[in-house]
Structure 1
Amino acid sequence: MIRVRFHFLLAVVGASWVTVLYRPNAVTIVLAVIFSLSVLTLRDFRRICLLFLLALILIGYSLIGYRSLSMEEGQIAQQKNVELLVFPDQLQVSEHGFVRGQGQDERGQRFLLAYQAKNQEDVDRFTSISFPTKMSGLVKQVPILGATNDYQFDFHQFWKTQRVTQQTTFQSVTLARAHAQNPLQAFFFFSHRLHATAGRWANQLPNPLGDYAGALLLGMKGTMLYENNPKIAELGLIHLFALSGLHVSFLAKQFRQLTRRLRITREVADGLLAVLLVMFYFFTGSLAVLFRALVAGELRIVNRNFSCQWYPVTIWSWSLLASLVFYPQILLTLGGQLSFALTLAIILTARYNYWLRGFFLSAVSFPIILAQQFAWNIWQTMANILVVPLFSAIVLPATLIGYFGAWLSVVKESTNVVINLFDRFVYWFGQLPGYVVIGAFSWPVLLFLFILPWLFFRVKWQLKSFLTLCWCALFILNYAWIHWPKEGEWTTFDIVQGDAAVLIEPKHRSVMMIDTGGKVTFGSHPVYQTANRIETRPRVLEQKKLKEQEGLAQSVIIPYLHARGIAHIDTISLSHQDQDHIGDTRVLLENFRVDRVVMPAGMAELPAYQRKIKPYLKNTKVVEATDRTKLTNCPLTIRYPFDSGLAGNDDSLAWTGRIGGTEIYTAGDLDRSGEQKILDKYPFLAPKIVKFGHHGSRTATDPNVFDVWQPRIGIVSAGRDSRYGHPHQEVLDVDNHERMIVYSTQVQGMLRYVYQKNQGHFEVSRHDITKSKGTN
């Protein structure tokens, strides 16, 4: 057992050191210290020295890749001519002619690429690509933008784990077939062609069979599986789809059974299986999370045939070390974390009964998923216990049979019916009440919640109850800390072109959204013929249509509110009818319990309200307001409009109120005339924090009004590289004249005014890889 412990400690120490190298933060450093100190349990000086020596060799090897990646990350925005090698399985063409994918230059640096097709002929050029292709032309190269809002998914960090730090947008494109320069490159060219051909075959299958085959068998990044059925991720079933390598084990088991029936000797069968595992790995697109399953499968074959007597933990340890060599950032991805954590948990609970194992797996995955989603479905454990055997016994075989036997219409249709029943069952199961918003726990708490279940294997039964109580106490105390905070906040989201803010009072006495943002489109996009699968399911078609109209509420606003432990919104204020202020109201109404929607009087008669808001209200009360409207449980007061109107810019709702001992003012797109009317009717107002009207447009921010108010701080909510030129110079001149401190989402991302009683301060999220905070 000393040897098993040595291999395990070598793997976790090496993994923790490499992870610190690529992402040094409190969590990775603490884990590295804990695992490094645990090496002392070996109690053998020579083994300890050997382990650290091997770990240093691994970190030295990883340092080479890290330095190369850091140099790529440091490149600045530029325009230049490039030639990228693009594989057919790494290109996606949408029905609107948006071409996206990955490519690499002659030095091997990887890039995200984008191109807008000009016409149907241009689209056909890309949909017909079946060979590795050289894509050349003039591009604009910029670093991949990271998260500019707290708790927003960080694309910069995600793509960095894939060794991609830059993105290119082609202005014009020339395509030419690429030719392999050596046998190894020829093999990779062939594997990508094979994967692309397999993907096109999956695209010809009906849904959901096509989506399941694409995600489960091929690891296709373009699959719409999770978008079409988001309950898969919500119920924690995402690890079944190409994360845990469950289908690799299933295929290996079926292959061994087949060879036994054919009376093929075990040695010959294992030799064939060793080759087939490698082929399947490349067939599925060389997914990083499947590399663990490949290595583990090969090691088990060696173990069976050469009497190595390796324990399952030893095989797990070497699969982790091998993954770190080829994919050093594997544990910085959700897929990698779930894959290695759950497979280790399965190994250690081999003697547990089925139900107890299910609960343990849920306890292990809980902090990992909570760190990403800030919520938990109470049916998740039950879903895994019920679905995993169903998945192995029915869904996997049906997907395989449906994919490889789709040339027979009866096979294709029947397997699609089976998978559709499973898909609908998961969706129905996810609809049951039980989705609980928990919030963003601090990293020490998440770390303890993750570590405590593993201690069950090292303590006596008397201590297991104590550990369970500790786990529950940690959870309850942090849940209370998040849901009853002593501080309040007024937060302006960075949602590109648009407006959205939330006012959260201390202890969550009230939660008020002020506008919701929305996707702004300029003109209609043409629709082209592509090789993509034609969707026919009404539910999915409706979801797709609504998804195309969404702004950033799903990726910015909802994660932030969930991280703050918010599942209930008292008030949604819609300043006026413009899409960039109300477009994502539907998303919030569908994801939160909302007491009331407040909007300027007269707006309920407009088509924008009838189409975008009314169908999704459910039990939410609608209040058409003027400055005479009084609202209960609302921290702000309406100052404008005075009468019913058409909910245009000049009718925008204007709010004022005192938070943190300071008067604030926000008024959507209200123009200078409206500002002057407010001053005339309410001469006693003197707001010190002002959100500039109309995103900093010259149509607002009247210099005469501001000369009376004399605000100290201004807030600009506007998109980067705004096509309108916001904020305009005239507004900046007013800022300078009043000597104001100005915060802008363009520059600083999310803006938070945090207050407690009569004290408050600003916190801004600056966009850089260190997630640094600045406070004024």
Structure 2
Amino acid sequence: MQNAKLLLFSLLVASLGGVIYRPCLSSWIMLLGTLILILWQRHLRFFLMVIVLITPFMIYFFHDARNLKNQAEIPDQKNVQITGVIFPDNVSIDGDNLSSTATLDSGEAVKLYWTLPNKQSKEEWLKQDHVLTFSATGELTRIRSATNFNQFDSQEFYETKNMTHQLTVTTWQVENMVSHDILNGIRYQLHAWHSRAIHDTESLPKPLREYAQALILGVTPQALYGDNPGVQTLGLIHLFSVSGFHVSFLIMMIMALAKRLWITKEITIVLLSGLLIIYFVFAGEPAILIRAIVAGELILWQDLHHHRFKSYDIWAISLLISLIYSP
């Protein structure tokens, strides 16, 4: 482990996050085990560097966990007025029920629910592919925890996404979002294209529709589990989600295509670096893709600069960045 100091540091940061956010026996064992391995190095300079470098992570985790706790303590409110933003690829419609993830102007994320009043409204929402701003009146309540043994715990699940409350909309006004910032405009357009692609796949026959949404667009429809009960029974859910495999496949496909088109390796790497970021946003910005994207970027740039990263260093760097993005 003498040459894996960065890996040890990343594991220490990850286990520290586990103790802060989900304190349990396994997270404490991992933290203590990693500390023992670091002390086993008998390298005073490395130990002092760990203390210095882990401090900002500790402050960040404690600050984020405290904000999440304060957010969870917000009391239930009726007839509350809230404004925020909805991305079209987060909207889901089941019958006359609309649900989505919304980001409030205060920066908090909530789960949003609304009952569609008529068929015309439903058809309009099914065609909606723009980023929306809304001003709503409704009931803001804490997301409920599981009430039965072994029941899915929605409260705990949504807390991992920094969501503690849900908003049941009574009335609201919705309009298309207009951004005057170039980067935000590109981001909104990518989400709009993602939503449009999801709508387009609805015309595909089963099970191709579910496969296309899950494996290409990063959306897992409930019909996939309903029509394929063995997916959950056999624990194969991870095979039907966008992951590092897709990033690797995309890199290999573009590299092979560029080679056939006689595009230089340097230009291909630069284009691919930007394309990976675009793909991340297009796929809905899922935290699960962060490690794969960062690892892909590092592998590309090491080829460009002829500097080889060790595999566990790439893994460690991608883990640290993913913890910053979604602690």
Classify the TM-score, shorter chain: over 0.9
Q: Which residue of 1 aligns with 2:225?
A: 226
Q: Which residue of 2 aligns with 1:26?
A: 25
SS in structure 2 opposite 1:60? helix
Q: Distance in 2 between matches of 1:194 and 1:259?
A: 25
Contact 1:242 1:290 survives alignment (8 Å)? no
Q: Distance in 2 between matches of 1:117 and 1:54?
A: 51
Q: 1:257 to 1:322 in 2, by over 3 A?
A: same
Q: Which residue of 2 aligns with 1:45?
A: 44
Q: Which residue of 1 aligns with 2:188?
A: 189
2:87 aligned partner, one-letter code: F
1:277 aligned partner, one-letter code: L
Q: Which runs of 5+ in 1 are unaligned?
A: 329-776
Q: Distance in 2 between matches of 1:52 and 1:151?
A: 39
Q: Distance in 2 between matches of 1:68 and 1:77?
A: 17
Q: Distance in 2 between matches of 1:194 and 1:153?
A: 32
Q: Which residue of 2 aligns with 1:166?
A: 165
1:238 aligned partner, one-letter code: I
Map 1:68-467 → 2, pairs under 5 A: 68-79=67-78, 80-94=80-94, 96-222=95-221, 224-242=223-241, 244-328=243-327
TM-fit CA distance, 1:58: 1.3
- RMSD (Å), alpha carbons: 1.7
Q: Distance in 2 between matches of 1:33 and 1:197?
A: 48
- What fraction of aligned residue pairs are identical, expressed as a percent? 29
Q: Distance in 2 between matches of 1:134 and 1:180?
A: 11
Q: Which runs of 5+ in 2 are unaligned?
A: none
Q: Which residue of 1 aligns with 2:2?
A: 2
1:84 aligned partner, one-letter code: G
TM-fit CA distance, 1:223: 5.0
Moved beyond 6 Å, runs of 4+ = none
Q: Distance in 2 between matches of 1:148 and 1:82?
A: 29
1:93 aligned partner, one-letter code: I
State which structure, 1 or 2, has the greater radius of gyration over its C-alpha atoms.
1
Map 1:292-691 → 2, pairs under 5 A: 292-328=291-327
Q: Which residue of 1 aligns with 2:16?
A: 17
Contact 1:90 1:102 survives alignment (8 Å)? yes
Q: Distance in 2 between matches of 1:222 and 1:15?
A: 31
Q: 1:181 to 1:64 in 2, by over 3 A?
A: farther
Contact 1:244 1:293 survives alignment (8 Å)? yes
Tell me if 1:36 matches 2:46: no
Q: Distance in 2 between matches of 1:84 and 1:57?
A: 30
SS in structure 2 opposite 1:146? coil
Question: Cα deviations across residues 504-533 of structure 1 (Å, max 9, x unaligned)?
Answer: xxxxxxxxxxxxxxxxxxxxxxxxxxxxxx
Q: Distance in 2 between matches of 1:166 and 1:181?
A: 30
Question: Cα deviations across residues 735-759 of structure 1 (Å, max 9, x unaligned)?
Answer: xxxxxxxxxxxxxxxxxxxxxxxxx
Q: Distance in 2 between matches of 1:133 and 1:305?
A: 40
TM-fit CA distance, 1:181: 5.0
Contact 1:215 1:223 survives alignment (8 Å)? no
Contact 1:195 1:283 survives alignment (8 Å)? yes
Q: Distance in 1 between matches of 2:172 and 2:224?
A: 31
2:88 aligned partner, one-letter code: P
TM-fit CA distance, 1:118: 1.7
Q: Distance in 1 between matches of 2:246 and 2:297?
A: 15
Q: Which residue of 2 aligns with 1:534?
A: none
1:166 aligned partner, one-letter code: H
Q: Distance in 1 between matches of 2:187 and 2:197?
A: 15
Q: Which residue of 2 aligns with 1:531?
A: none
TM-fit CA distance, 1:221: 4.3
Structure with the higher helix share, 1 or 2: 2
Contact 2:129 2:193 survives alignment (8 Å)? no
Q: Distance in 2 between matches of 1:198 and 1:181?
A: 25
SS in structure 1 opposite 2:290? helix
SS in structure 2 opposite 1:171? strand
Q: Distance in 2 between matches of 1:148 and 1:315?
A: 42
Q: Distance in 1 between matches of 2:2 and 2:242?
A: 30
Q: Which region of structure 1 is more displaced relative to structure 2, 295-304 or 46-55?
A: 46-55
Contact 2:88 2:195 survives alignment (8 Å)? yes
2:90 aligned partner, one-letter code: Q
TM-fit CA distance, 1:227: 2.7
Q: 1:123 to 1:243 in 2, by over 3 A?
A: closer
2:272 aligned partner, one-letter code: L
Q: Which residue of 2 aligns with 1:674?
A: none
SS in structure 2 opposite 1:172? strand
SS in structure 2 opposite 1:100? strand
Q: Distance in 2 between matches of 1:172 and 1:132?
A: 19
Q: Distance in 2 between matches of 1:107 and 1:61?
A: 19
TM-fit CA distance, 1:261: 1.8
Q: Distance in 2 between matches of 1:264 and 1:65?
A: 45
2:187 aligned partner, one-letter code: F
TM-fit CA distance, 1:6: 0.5
SS in structure 1 opposite 2:111? strand
TM-fit CA distance, 1:209: 1.3
SS in structure 2 opposite 1:71? helix
Q: Distance in 2 between matches of 1:250 and 1:278?
A: 15
Q: Distance in 2 between matches of 1:209 and 1:256?
A: 27
TM-fit CA distance, 1:256: 1.3
Q: 1:63 to 1:181 in 2, by over 3 A?
A: farther
Q: 1:182 to 1:63 in 2, by over 3 A?
A: farther
What is the aligned length? Answer: 326
Q: 1:48 to 1:153 in 2, by over 3 A?
A: same
